[in-house]
Amino acid sequence: MAESLSIFLTALIKSVIILFGVFLPGAAGSVYFERKISAWIQNRIGPNRVGPFGILQPIVDVVKLIIKEDIIPLVADKRFHALAPVIAVTTAMATFAVMPFGNFVVIGNLRIDLNIASNVNVALLYVLAVGSVSVYAITFAGWSSNNKYSMLGGLRSASQMISYELSMGLSLVGVIMIAGTTSLNGIVEAQANMKWNVFTQPLGFIIFLVASFAETNRSPFDLPEAEPELVGGYNTEYAGMKWGMFFLAEYGHMIAASGMISTLFFGGYDIPFVKQLFPSVFYDGALILGIMQVGFFLTKIAIFAFFFIWVRWSLPRFRYDQLMDLGWKVMMPLALVNIIVTSLVMYALR
């Protein structure tokens, strides 16, 4: 009893830390840098009026959203209309529950794992499962708004996610085979010392990258919210902070996806070679190693978040049929080929 309570309490504390230390600042930061980077790419200046360099822009954005009137269409299905943004944010946050920010640190005789749910052995499956729940948010939003555009956006998103989920799952089979586990810590440890999966699984990496763009609904796969054709897509009928929650969810997903990419393909929190070079300072459980691992991992997340934003302001949106073609006719077969090649190579090297 006491033990389960302490597990619950540590998980709660860690969740709060990650929520206010990673998720919210990450989302606010990506909103800010999305605007800044888009401005730089387009030879503009970007937000620079609120605070030094405009860094307070996300805060005033949120204030604006909160004081806005919350409009619910008269014919909307009110329960689902209210539920959709909640699901969106929840699923975006849920991925962080298993994300390993570092290995573990030992303070006194207390061992603290640097993730919320310590070393879940089905973490990877959990991430994929949570990712597919997020489609409900968009579908609910589209359906309950009782609006043609929202509905089309919702349908698009549903079919897009179903098509890309498959190749996403399949592209990870290679990673799982190499690591021999679906625990994220295990996968990171298997990539220790620059044995990054991106080198051994380049095809799997590209497929996973493309699929995560599709899963996060970001350009070039942002068909559910294609402004020119669908007004705003699934979020057309949302106002104020409910709309803001979809926005928050989008950036949350983006950061979660960046975290997953770095965990699965770029060695996650592992700092190459330090444990071998300075075993007396950087041993497993050392506080300094733990802090450095978290810093290393957050840097990787930032790099991939930048990549997400950079892609958004470079590539044009896909057409719907091209999107489906790519998903089913290109990525699926490639993912299967990747599995076969990986297993053959592993068999040969056995």
Residues of this chain that interact with another protein (CB under 8 A) are 37, 39-45, 206, 310-311, 313-315
Compare residues 314 and 343 and give the one whose CB is closer to another protein: 314
Compare residues 77 and 325 and give the one whose CB is closer to another protein: 325
Q: Read off the amino acid at residue 284.
A: D
Task: Supply the minimum distance, in Å, between the C-beta of residue 44 and another protein.
Answer: 5
**Do 184 and 123 touch, CB atoms closer than 8 A?**
yes
CB burial string 308-320: b at 16+ within 10 A, e below? bbeebeeeebbee
Task: Supply the minimum distance, in Å, between the C-beta of residue 37 and another protein.
Answer: 7
Which residues sit opposite 264 in a β-bridge? none
Compare residues 158 and 311 and give the one whose CB is closer to another protein: 311
Task: Supply the minimum distance, in Å, between the C-beta of residue 206 and another protein.
Answer: 7
CA distance 45 to 284: 45
- List Cβ neighbours of 240 (8 Å cut-off, separation of 6 or more): 65, 66, 68, 69, 70, 71
What is the dihedral sign for C-alpha 242, 96, 133, 167?
positive
Compare residues 39 and 56 and give the one whose CB is closer to another protein: 39
CA angle 156, 160, 163 (to 5 degrees): 145
Compare residues 276 and 322 and give the one whose CB is closer to another protein: 322
Task: Supply the minimum distance, in Å, between the C-beta of residue 18 and another protein.
Answer: 31
Task: Supply the minimum distance, in Å, between the C-beta of residue 315 and another protein.
Answer: 6
